[in-house]
Amino acid sequence: MSNGETIPGQIKLTIVTSTELIVDTQVKEVLIPGLEGELGILPGHRSLVLALGEGRITFRQDGVEESIQVSGGYAEIQPGSVLVFSGQPEE
């Protein structure tokens, strides 16, 4: 962020598949399985597009940690949001 902008305390996480909206919430942090390892995302992260590997997307909100298994897709990361496009999540 530049020009004196403040970094938000939360980041909007949206996870979608071709058929449904899996997650749409505000979180404190997100861990995403990239092709070359896990990437941690906090509010204010620089913009990028990331190819997903197989693994778990883990996120924290209100002191609770949740995770969703994914097997590929991609994520669009902006300073205030993470949008994940993935195949059907595994149980």
Tens of pLDDT, residues 56-90: 999 998 889 999 999 899 999 999 999 999 976 55
Predicted pLDDT of residue 18:
85
Separation between Cα atoms, residue 55 and residue 35, nearest integer Å: 10
Of residues 88 and 38, more confidently modeled = 38
Could you tell me if residue 45 is inside a domain?
yes
Could you tell me if residue 26 is inside a domain?
yes
Could you tell me if residue 1 is inside a domain?
no
3-state secondary structure the chain: CCCCCCCCCCEEEEEECCCCEEEEEEECEEEEEECCEEEEECCCCCCEEEEEEEEEEEEEECCEEEEEEEEEEEEEEECCEEEEEECCCEC
- The total domain count for the chain is 1
Separation between Cα atoms, residue 48 and residue 45, nearest integer Å: 9
**CATH number of domain containing 76:** 2.60.15.10
What is the extent of the structural domain holding 82? Answer: 11-86
Predicted pLDDT of residue 91:
54
Could you tell me if residue 64 is inside a domain?
yes
